[in-house]
Amino acid sequence: MLNTIALRRLRCWIDAPQNTSANSLQAKVLALELGQLGFRLNNITAFTTIDKAQFTAAITTLTEMRGGDVQYVPLFSNFPDDLPNDHEYLWRRVLGFWGLDSFVNKADFGANPISQMQEEQLWQQAIAAQSQKLTDQHTEWIDLTVVTPEAGKQKLQQWAIDLLYGTTPIKEALWADIFVVLGELQPPIDLAKVAIKETLARLAADRWQKWHEVIVKTPTDLLRMLAFIQGQDVSLAQPIDLKGLKFSKPQRRSIITFLNGCPKIREDLLRYRRLWISISRWLHPGDFSRQFPRVAVAFDDLRNDRIKSFESRVINGPVDGRLDTLLERPGILLRKLTWLLQAVDPLEISVALLKLQSQVAALSLPLLLNAYCAVNYDDQRVVINKQGKPYTIDKRPPANNPTAVLAALDTLILTKLRGTKDWQTVWIDPAIHNLVLPLQARKQSDGLLNLARGSRLPMTGPVLRLFVYWQETQERTDLDLSAMTLDREFQFVDHIGWNNYGSDADIVHSGDIQSAPLGAAEFIDLNFAAVADSYVLPAVLRFTGERFAEMKACYAGWMNRQDVGADIQTFDAKTVVEKVNVVQDGRSWLPFLLDVRAQEIIYVDLYYKGTRTIEGNPHFPALAKAIADYHNSKPTFGLLADWYARANHARLVDRADAEISIGHTDDCTINVLKLVGQGVTSFS
């Protein structure tokens, strides 16, 4: 299991012990097998030997990572050539439903061309035909590193620790692997270094269940821990129900003792009033009123609605006292800066912010970065909540000039970063100014790329081929791979999908399949040079049937293709740029936005509720407009690199003269796309 995690998460191939003699023949065979999947060993000379079982398991893992473990059969077997005319095909289908079947040669189809339902014989014929086709000449290489078992364990341990000590929430998809690593390797964990409350809640659950010890920091953290134990949402973004809790008397005493030590117990209980009133029925705080009267009074005030929240004190209090009140809670002050700018003199706000310099070590760097970018951007923007659902916010109304506030925030960030690096000369790749820091990765999909939403990547191939694969469990399930084209003003132009197969010149669709008992696939080709519109927004839409997470399998992603044609395999694993497990709740999944003029892909990875078809959707154009500018409203790796260089008096020089190079490729000293956990914000 550790070997599999090392491959998936660290791109490390764990080899035999170093005292085993090198086997050059095995190394060549391994390189050949890996090359067919688009992987290569960057230190193949370090390879020694591997047994057959390990080899098979590793190849299976790598095949799954690229999406090559299933059969991709489009409706039109000759895709992208010889596609039927939309209207003619529709009439032939109508005639077929009336018993006049004009589809004599069904071998050109991977499913029944009339019903568009899968049939075993046509599916098997299409698989056999695909196996005879040529592969693409292009390869999207992913480098693997050969490591010894001991080095692999050390890297896995460091990976887990970096995530646990990180200053951003951990992607939910990583937790299963993290717990395997923690269970197998038992690394020492300093809980005082765990900054994210959701992370601490997960780690605290084991201590609570074994020894009834409460090691979280606030009452809300305790709710997170209980939610985790009951298999509910640890982030508390979704409503949770903790009914049925039963505490022993020692457990009740531990919780009451913990609550008694919380300095802001009243406000903390109020934040989740309904839950705490429910829990109090099992806690019986009145039983401890003599020893812990503070807790008993707090619960009595909670039930009788006698507690006033901190935010209500700020909002309803005198305007001239808001800053002094907010200085009691620096985190809330930083989150409310854009609101304050509507009513308070920016100079007063900047003076208040500078008072935080003495406690800057306790301030969250991501919070400071987000505050700076929020104040610095006032256009329409996308807000993504804890559940990973997007909604757009209109342009902020005119406010006071924020220059002084930005200067104060800049000072706080430089103060926090000062003395953290010994850099002398630095080169910063301009491209990383388009890569958003992954500060909100909790609900992001699990795939090949380590990208944050809004990040921009350059187009590298002539044809971008989107794909979706799904297999239903019981209920007939119809997914539709579609795309919306937009003009420069983000106005709807056209759509490509189930009822519009497009044109060979720019965008073309592989045909609509309406059932997936055998595993169905749809494709869209974007011929980049021929696309006339300014933006293309693809989507995977669930027309009917099972939800994404209920299916046996649901994958989606895209390939960079050099060779396309009826004689070339429709799916080629080695050309896959991104393959994502589509498992979250929603009516549609939006993978990326294609900026045609900039020749860039903007990573979206958002799930959306709404209509079952892309045409006529009023929300997608507004979302596309906001996501196109997302990197300007959020902290980027480039922005943070600049702050590190300024804070530590490093000189920015040409790459050839730089001691430290920061970019998004492996030939840089720091490849930002490989940073995880605490490394994301520390550049280490």
The CA distance from 128 to 121, in Å, is: 11
The alpha-helical segments, DSSP class H, found in 284-442 are 293-303, 310-316, 322-326, 330-335, 337-340, 346-354, 365-375, 403-417
Q: Give the per-residue pLDDT at 240.
A: 86
Query: What is the chain's Cα-based Rg?
Result: 28
The CA distance from 158 to 163, in Å, is: 9
The CA distance from 123 to 131, in Å, is: 13
pTM over 0.85: yes
- Pick the closest to residue 425 from 217, 612, 631, 656 (CA basis): 656
With both helix axes pointing from N to C terminus, report the angle between 24-37 and 52-65 in degrees, rounded to the nearest 10.
20
- The continuous run of DSSP H or E covering 458 comes out as strand 456-458
What burial class does residue 377 get, using C-beta atoms within 10 Å of its C-beta: 0-12 exposed, 13-18 middle, 19+ buried? middle
Contact of 508 with 83, CB cutoff 8 Å: yes
Encoding tokens for residue 626?
Answer: 């906001």
The CA distance from 120 to 196, in Å, is: 50
The CA distance from 160 to 8, in Å, is: 14
Which position has the token pair 């595993």?
519
Q: How many residues does the chain have?
A: 684
The CA distance from 134 to 299, in Å, is: 71
Encoding tokens for residue 627?
Answer: 């996501």
Q: Give the per-residue pLDDT at 256.
A: 95
Per-10-residue mean pLDDT, the chain, length 684: 93 74 75 92 82 87 95 94 86 85 82 93 94 94 92 95 93 94 93 92 91 91 93 88 83 94 92 91 90 94 90 78 88 91 91 94 94 90 76 77 95 96 96 94 89 90 94 96 93 90 85 95 90 90 93 94 93 95 89 91 89 81 89 94 97 96 94 93 92
Q: Give the per-residue pLDDT at 156.
A: 96
Q: What is the DSSP string of 52-113?
A: HHHHHHHHHHHHHHTTTTS----SBTTTTSSPPPHHHHHHHHHHHHTT------GGGBSS-T
Q: Give the per-residue pLDDT at 48.
A: 78
Encoding tokens for residue 358?
Answer: 């003495």
- Pick the closest to residue 376 from 338, 339, 348 (CA basis): 338
- Pick the closest to residue 439 from 353, 371, 393, 537 (CA basis): 371
- Pick the closest to residue 520 from 109, 89, 104 (CA basis): 109
How far from chain centre, in Å, is Cα 424? 34
The CA distance from 524 to 502, in Å, is: 9
Q: How far is CA 350 from CA 9, 17, 493, in A?
A: 42, 59, 46
